[in-house]
Amino acid sequence: MAGFKDKVVYQIYPKSFKDSNGDGFGDLRGITEKLDYLESLGVDYLWLTPFFISPQHDNGYDVADYLKIDPRFGTMEDLEELIKKADERGIGLMLDMVFNHTSTEHEWFQKALAGSEEYMDYYIFRDGEKDRLPTNWISKFGGPAWEYVPHLKKWYLHLFDVTQADLNWENPKVRGALKDVIRFWKEKGIKGFRFDVVNLISKPEVFVDDYEGDGRRFYTDGRHVHEFLKELVRDTGIEDMVTVGEMSSTSLENCIRYSNPKEKELSMCFNFHHLKVDYKNGNKWELAEPDFAALKELFRQWQTGMQNADGWNAVFWCNHDQPRVVSRFGDDRKYWKESAKMLAAAIHLMRGTPYIYQGEELGMTNAGYRSIGQYRDVESLNYYEILLKEGKTTDEALDILAGRSRDNGRTPMQWSGEDHAGFSDAEPWIGLPENYRVINVREEEKDEDSILAFYKKLIRLRKEKPVIAEGNIEFIDEEDPGLMVYQRSLGTEKLLVLCNFRPEAVRVKSKEALAALTGGYDKILGNYGDGPEDGTLRSYEAVVLYSVSV
């Protein structure tokens, strides 16, 4: 596997990063324009979400052609220039491969609709009558996971939107075609791959109703998923490239297998359990205060579990599918700067490869939309209607969307305080948070104490101190649920990280942490200029201590 432990990945949502031609949509040339900024940040890889030909029902995760670039993002020449210019700066590009499903506009699905038996076998079709669903499974975006095609008298499976038909990985021709996609982009100079919901690709042999849940227990981490991944990696020669799998509702045991180097599957995994600690009764669309005790326990389980079995985590707070973390687990008003820095330190100093989502390094906040007309996301629009049907008032439904919508992470990158935040000369495709005149790259580059400056320090520390990239992790028990303390160790190096997730001050109780705070360790990073002197962490305080024993 590639040397990725001291690397940092920056995720770009091209549609919202930088518009170079004034049409209100971000594009590939816009990314090229901003490579100097990305180089100054110190990141090693850019993960770009899909920019392939797509009807954009799910913002590009409904791919109609894996080998062609959607003209709204630019041309193949634009991508080749981006690869070349990034390469000159020591930055590699990672592409997002959506291999669980295609758009229903994909040539393969269109041939299936035209009656081709060969291409029907590229997807998961089931015979049946219109009034009888093959199973009672629920789509991830709401409603049934099956759609009826009257002229074929068949249903097709779509775990996501009705325009995203699931591929049949049991068919060797499908696996062969997807391998060709990887080979094509490797030839172009792509340095890594992110695989979208890749642990859902192996479906059950027999499809049955789920009377306990929505069906996911029958297709998540499925029966052939590990052999399918081994085959894909082996036959495309990507074993030594950086690869990450997005794992939906996965288990620790499976992620160990996905990422253990001996298995020769993937470099690392995303899991999302830590981002469900503010779901009321496990329901994304019911708001609750974050359960920080649960958050700490999940980090402890995954960090130590992966360590003990030689797995590797991708560590992150934000992406294009998540609300902004400073609005979610921090305080985006009174303690905006302090909480954004604390959250960054908490994740970047763990065992794993950190991912930064565009604007996270600025402390960008949730959008603050107050009308349904401001939303663009298919999931949000669907669930708004579902929430109203469940009896929620308009205000209640909008409050839930304000906290949960994926559009919170999709607002344009805030480059400056100028009109449209310097993202575009035109009205952007989606509206900006009102605070962009204060929270933006231009302002933060001028401020030595900015959130941006703090992220640069974290990235630099990972490269300077082997203990961060290579060290073991051990969590130190603290009674207060909002206080997380962990220690990294490697040979003679030790790093102690203390993070207060609460707006109230909290007293450190563990003898080990108190001893480190009062002597023998150097404070190498913190989000308050001084202290702490007496073992009390202030509101959202983060302290990073370091020692080398002789």
Catalytic residue positions? 196, 246
Asked if 33 contacts 18 with a C-beta cutoff of 8 angstroms, the reply is yes
SS3 305: helix
For the range 434-440, what are the long-range contacts, defined as Cβ-Cβ under 8 Å and sequence gap of 24 or more? Answer: 434/368, 435/365, 439/362, 439/363, 439/364, 439/365, 439/414, 440/362, 440/414, 440/415, 440/416
The strand pair at 52-53 and 65-69 is best described as antiparallel
Please say whether the beta carbons of 147 and 181 come within 8 A. no
Q: Which of 467, 357, 462 is nearest to 9 (CA)?
A: 357
CA distances from 518 to 38, 509, 512, 513, 514 (A): 37, 13, 10, 9, 6
Q: How far is CA 324 from CA 2, 304, 365, 439, in A?
A: 30, 26, 5, 13
Residue 261 φ then ψ, to 5°: -55, -30
Nearest to 458 by CA among 370, 525, 371, 541: 525
Reported as type and span, the H/E element at residue 149 is strand 146-149
Cα 355 from Cα 35, distance rounded (Å): 17
Question: Using an 8 Å Cβ cutoff, are 130 and 148 in contact?
Answer: yes
> What span, in angstroms and rounded, lies between the C-alpha atoms of 63 and 167?
12
Question: Which run of H or of E encompasses 544?
Answer: strand 542-548
